[in-house]
Amino acid sequence: MGCVASRIDNEGRVWVCKKRKKLMKHLVRCRGEFADAQSAYLRALKNTGVTLKSYTNLLDLASGNFLDQPNEHKRLPQVMTMAGVFGAGGG
């Protein structure tokens, strides 16, 4: 009688172990698919950036504007500070 009970208990444990093994294989497969998808996304993002850069370069060449002109210094607009509004005293 003790042999039968331990045999059923062992079968239950074996079933749980086999189920866990299948789940782990599925997890590894899903992880690989996710990594492949993420890699493809990053490649597409990089290609989009390269395409946009070449597109803007073509537009600049067609319009005569060049982004890399060394003699042209673009200045940012001046931002009025609180000291400029209220004077040096601040009040």
Residue 2 lies in a domain: no
The pLDDT of residue 28: 97
Residue 13 lies in a domain: yes
DSSP 26-70: HHHHHHHHHHHHHHHHHHHHHHHHHHHHHHHHHHHHHHT--TT-S
CA distance 45 to 42: 5
The pLDDT of residue 87: 54
Residue 1 lies in a domain: no
Query: What is the domain extent for residue 48?
Result: 8-63
Residue 75 lies in a domain: no
What confidence tens digit (pLDDT) does each residue in 52-68 have? 998 888 888 777 765 55
- 82 and 90 Cβ atoms separated by less than 8 Å: yes
